[in-house]
Amino acid sequence: MDSLSQIVLGAAVGEVVLGRRIGNRAMIWGAVAGTIPDMDVLGKFFLDELDNLGFHRGISHSLLFSFVGAVAFGWATDRLYRSRHHAWIAMGTKAAAAIVIGFVVNFLTMILAPGTWLPLVAYIPTVAWFWWRNGQKRYFSGTWQVPNASMRAWMALFFWGFVTHILLDCFTTYGTQIFAPFSNLRVAWGTISVADPLYTIPFLVCLLVAARLAPSDRRRAVWNWAGLGLSSAYLALTVVNYQRVHSTFEQTLEAQDITYERFFITPTIFNNVLWNGVIDAGENYLLAQYSFYDEVDLTFTPVAKGYDLLRNLDSDPTLATLQWFSAGYLNAILRPDGTLQVNDLRFGTFSGEATDADDYIFRFNLIDFGPKESYGFKQAEGGPPEDTAQTMMRSLIRRARGKKASPAGVEQNK
pLDDT tens by residue, the chain, 414 residues: 998 999 999 999 999 999 999 999 899 899 999 999 999 988 888 888 888 888 999 999 999 999 999 999 999 999 988 877 777 777 887 787 788 778 777 767 776 676 777 887 888 888 888 888 877 777 777 666 778 899 999 999 999 999 999 999 999 999 999 999 999 999 999 999 999 999 999 999 999 999 999 999 999 999 999 999 999 999 999 999 999 999 999 999 999 999 999 999 999 999 999 999 999 999 999 999 999 999 999 999 999 999 999 999 889 999 999 999 999 999 999 999 999 999 999 999 999 899 999 999 999 999 998 888 899 998 888 887 777 777 888 888 899 999 988 765 555 554
Co-location of 174 and 283 in the same domain: no
Q: Does residue 249 lie within any of the structural domains?
A: no
Q: Do 316 and 214 belong to one domain?
A: no
The whole-number pLDDT of residue 121 equals: 82
Buried b (16+ CB within 10 A) or exposed e, 178-208: bebeeeeebbbbbbbbbbbebbbebbbebbe
For residue 59, which amino acid is it? I
SS3 label, residue 2: coil
317 lies in a domain? yes
Q: Looking at the structure, do residues 233 and 379 belong to the same domain, yes or no?
A: no
Establish if 246 belongs to a structural domain.
Answer: no
- Cβ atoms of 160 and 233 within 8 Å: the answer is no
Same domain? For 162 and 301 the reply is no
Q: Measured on CA atoms in the order 254, 255, 256, 257, is the torsion positive or negative?
A: positive
221: in domain: yes
Residue 359 lies in a domain: yes
**Distance between CA 86 and CA 75 in Å, rounded?**
14
pLDDT, residue 33, reads 95
Query: Do 112 and 56 fall into the same domain?
Result: yes
Buried b (16+ CB within 10 A) or exposed e, 243-267: eebbebbeebbeeeeeebeebbbbb
Q: Which of 360, 309, 300 is nearest to 333 (CA)?
A: 309
Among 187, 207, 238, the domain boundary falls at: 238
Q: Is residue 251 part of a domain?
A: no
Instruction: Let me know whether 231 and 266 are in one domain.
Output: no
| Shared-domain flag, residues 277 and 193 | no
Could you tell me which residues come within 8 angstroms of residue 88 by beta carbon, excluding any fewer than 6 positions away? none
Task: State the total domains in the chain.
Answer: 2
Distances (CA, A) of 210 to 14, 54, 356: 12, 38, 48
Q: Tell me whether residue 243 is in a domain.
A: no
**Same domain flag for 269 and 164:** no
Domain boundary (203, 238, 273) is at: 238
Report the SS3 class of residue 170: helix
Backbone angles phi, psi at 96, to 5 degrees: -65, -40
Same domain, 215 and 71: yes
pLDDT (0 to 100) of residue 414: 47
Whether residue 191 is found in the same domain as residue 287: no
Q: How far is C-alpha 306 from the geometric centre of its chain's CA atoms?
A: 28
Asked if 219 and 102 sit in the same domain, the reply is: yes
Query: What pLDDT was estimated at residue 195?
Result: 92
The dihedral sign for the CA sequence 385, 238, 285, 175: positive
Identify the pLDDT of residue 82: 83
Closest to 191 (Cα-Cα) out of 296, 346, 33, 62: 346
Domain's final residue, options 192, 208, 238: 238
Residues spanned by the domain of 281: 259-413
Asked whether residue 244 is domain-assigned, the answer is no
Which of helix, strand or coil describes residue 282?
coil
Phi and psi at residue 244, in whole multiples of 5°? -65, -45
Q: What 3-state DSSP class applies to 406?
A: coil
404 sits in which H/E element: strand 403-405
Whether residues 267 and 194 share a domain: the answer is no
